[in-house]
A and B are shown apart, each in its own frame.
Chain A
Amino acid sequence: MSARLVPAAGDASGRRPDVPLRITVDGEPVDGAAGQTIAGVLLASGRRTWRSGPSGAPRGVFCGIGACFDCLVTVNGVRDVRACRRRAHDGDAVATQSRGGDAR
């Protein structure tokens, strides 16, 4: 088992059934629920990694509250968006990013 969204049915918070949305990640469609952050959509879809550090090492979510900047993605062409702080919107085009060509 891995990261997952708690099923709406039986959720103690009494939340309503999920309102589906779809984003793309590097062109590939990924389904999520309205209200999730982009990090939440990516994690629940089984992804853990969507950025590479300067050496190319894989990175994903670390602090989850916008302090560590590990989860940066490009959203609709805008670089360096913290996936843990940004709500996903239906149709968002998310692209993974790296420093690319960095000499280090």
Chain B
Amino acid sequence: MSRHVVIVGAGPAGLGAAAGALRAGADVTLVDASEQPGGQYHRMLPDAFAAADPGRLHHGWQGFERLRDHVLRHPRCDWWPESTVWSIERHDEGTPAVHVLRGEADAAGRERRVLQPDALVLAPGAHDRVLPFPGWELPGVYTAGAAQALAKGERLVVGDPVLIAGSGPFLLPVAASLIEAGATVLEVLEANPAATVARGWARRPWELASQAGKAGELAEYAGLLARHRVPYRTGRAVIEARGDGRVEEAVTARLRPDWSVVPGTERTVPVDALCVTHGFSPQLELPVAAGCALARTPGGAFTEVDTDQCTTAPGVYAAGEITGIGGAPAARTEGLLAGWIAGGGDPGAREAGALRRRRDQARAFAARLAAAHPIGAAWPGWLRDETVVCRCEETTYGSLCRAAGDEASGSARAVKLGTRAGLGPCQARVCGPTAAELLSGKVPGANPHHRPIAQPIRLGELASPPTENTPDPDQKESAR
């Protein structure tokens, strides 16, 4: 009997993993919370839009379509859309079990299923990391990813005019999407100074050649900005959002290389919407629940993997942004390799070697981007005592600092329970890395990615027993 590989996430990494595992001869169950594959990068339009030419909104659409159709139409692939992994159950030995809810997003009465694979590939991706600033909780302040998802995924412009600010190469495609959708983009602000950005990009220029696709994509966005006379300013950031019940204006300021504000350079810009990103946070709750060790890097924690994408947990592989922010091409290559190995493919096969080389090149390119767009250590200087850090529980910067400074409450868990930072519905997805950074060196750390309930499950769903799996593994369940 062939190996059964469960893949969580159907973005570039997960689709790659499915293709790799299928090629190795495995049976694949591909699980994703969305109705469509593609993840955030190739977020598809809904079927109801019946779009004739969806590729016009995307880079690399043809390649995506080929991969998607190959995987979803494959006789050994079972595609589970609208399927949410809420728990991963570790056994004493062997590959962990995957607990899934099948049904419409956040519905009541979704079907509980349990998958017990021979190998598990985790490819859940990442979401924007946004550093707090005064007023960031006002309606009309969005993550850049929100603006991108709404524009690409359902043709909605979040506002007009829009200011885009933060750090990283992702600012460019978001600006491009908003311009394409007809919004006026006032300016794009990169917090890092031009010198830092240029130094990151210019380092080891020979690496660029192998990543011509990705570099070309970014150059294209830059061209689009220039054509629409949208200024791209470096060394400048949004340090405050203001408005009465909604964002009405953004305060921008010049930053020093450490992201401290240059006094007197503040400027007030009227906006309808403000889109912000400072990088990405990998979604690490599933690897943590699966027992995978994390690697601490200057850019944050990621899932530790070896050269074949194996994690430290038995039978568990990881690919894509949870192993390091690398973008779609790196993710797809990692997925192909992870899937091949997870599916029982020969690690010594020639293709595996080629995949490792391609992955390493893509990773090197990602490292270059990370070096060009670091987070400056002085950003907490933007914060005021009353600035909200935890959006869910409205924990302020001042109360966090006071709790951290109090000797008797000095453990991360005590600070969390005392201030409620990270205890709300998002379970520290948004404020976790920020609170950990603000408290680092002050209190013994906790793991901000520990979320044994990986997604909310309604009590009625939890109380009902899981549906038994179909006895015949060849009996595919997905209706296509």
Chain A interface (Cβ within 8 Å of chain B)? 1-6, 11-16, 19, 33-37, 39-40, 43-44, 48-49, 53-55, 57-70, 72, 78, 80-82, 84-87
Provide the residues of chain A in CB contact with B107, threshold 8 Å.
78, 81
What is the distance, in angstroms, from A95's C-beta to the closest C-beta of chain B?
14
A62 vs B130: C-alpha distance in the bound complex, in angstroms? 10
Q: Do A6 and B391 have beta carbons less than 8 Å apart?
A: no
Interface residues of B in 328-359 (CB under 8 A from A): none
Instruction: Identify 19 residue pairs between A and B in the complex whose beta-carbon atoms are under 8 Å apart, listed by A's number.
Output: A1-B160, A3-B156, A5-B157, A6-B156, A13-B57, A39-B150, A40-B156, A53-B392, A53-B394, A62-B391, A63-B127, A63-B128, A63-B146, A65-B127, A67-B426, A68-B430, A80-B456, A84-B146, A85-B106
B143 contacts the other chain (CB 8 A)? yes
Report whether A57 and B137 are in contact in the complex, using a CB–CB cutoff of 8 Å: yes
Residues of B within 8 A of A40 (CB): 150, 154, 156
- Count of chain A to chain B residue pairs whose CB atoms are closer than 8 Å in the complex: 177
Nearest-neighbour CB distance to chain A for B84, whole angstroms, equals 10
Report the Cα distance A83→B425, complex, angstroms: 14
Structural contact, A13 and B53, CB atoms closer than 8 A: yes
**Is the C-beta of B181 less than 8 angstroms from some C-beta in chain A?**
yes
Interface of B is mostly: loop
A2 touches B160 (CB 8 A): yes
Q: Could you say which residues of chain A place their CB within 8 Å of the CB of B456?
A: 80
Q: Are A57 and B145 in contact (CB under 8 A)?
A: no
Q: Evaluate contact between A64 and B51: CB separation under 8 angstroms.
A: no
In the complex, chain B residues whose CB is within 8 Å of the CB of A34: 46, 48
Contact A13 B394, beta carbon cutoff 8 Å: no
Bound-complex Cα distance A103 to B45 (A): 42
B420-461 residues at the A interface, CB under 8 angstroms: 424-426, 429-430, 456
Q: Which of A11, A60, A62, A65 contacts B40 (CB 8 A)?
A: A65
**Distance of B239 from chain A, by nearest CB (Å):** 18
What residues of B have a CB within 8 angstroms of the CB of A2 in the complex?
159-160, 272
Which B residues, 276 to 290, have Cβ-Cβ distances below 8 Å to chain A? 283
Chain A residues with CB under 8 A of B140: 48, 60
CA distance A33 to B425 in the complex (A): 29
Contact, CB under 8 Å: A63 / B157: no
Provide the bound-state CA to CA distance between A42 and B403, in Å: 38
Bound Cα distance A34, B391 (Å): 31
Interface 0/1 of B105-120, CB less than 8 Å to A: 1111000000000000
Q: How far is the CB of B115 from chain A (nearest CB, A)?
A: 21
The answer for the CA separation of A29 and B424 in the assembled complex, in Å, is: 31
Question: Which B residues touch A86, using CB under 8 A?
Answer: 104-106
The docked-state distance in angstroms from the alpha carbon of A35 to that of B46 is 5
Question: Does A49 contact B146, Cβ atoms closer than 8 Å?
Answer: no
Known: A54-B394, A78-B108. A12 touches B47 (CB 8 A): no
A43 touching B150 in the complex, CB below 8 Å, given contacts A1-B272, A12-B180, A63-B128: yes
Q: With the chains together, A70 CA to B57 CA distance in Å?
A: 27
B residues engaging A (CB < 8 A)? Answer: 33, 35, 40, 45-54, 56-57, 104-108, 127-128, 137-143, 145-151, 154-161, 180-182, 245-246, 272-273, 283, 391-394, 424-426, 429-430, 456
B148 to nearest A CB, angstroms?
A: 8
Residue of A nearest to B181 (CB): A6
For the complex formed, measure the closest distance between the CB of A103 and the CB atoms of chain B, giving whole angstroms.
Answer: 12
Docked Cα-Cα span, A39 to B414, in Å, equals 35
Q: Which single member of A16, A64, A68 contacts B391 (CB below 8 Å)?
A: A68
B246 and A49 contact, CB distance less than 8 A: yes
- Contacts A61-B142, A81-B106 given; indicate if A14 touches B53 (C-beta within 8 A): yes
Out of A13, A53, A64, name the residue touching B147 (CB < 8 Å).
Answer: A64
With both beta carbons as reference points, the residue of chain A lying nearest to B137 in the complex is identified as A57
CA distance A57 to B247 in the complex (A): 13
With A6-B181, A43-B150 given, is the CB distance from A62 to B141 under 8 Å? yes
Q: CB-nearest residue of chain A relative to B246?
A: A48
Contact yes or no, B139 A49, CB < 8 A = yes
Residue of B nearest to A10 (CB): B182
CA distance A87 to B103 in the complex (A): 12
Q: Which residue of A lies closest to B106 (CB)?
A: A81
**How far is B366's CA from A58's CA once the two chains are assembled, in angstroms?**
37
Closest B residue, CB atoms, query A71: B146
Neighbour of A13 across the interface among B54, B149, B392, CB < 8 A: B54
Q: Which residue in chain A gives the minimum CB-CB distance to B56? A: A12
Report yes or no: A36 in contact with B146, Cβ–Cβ below 8 A. no
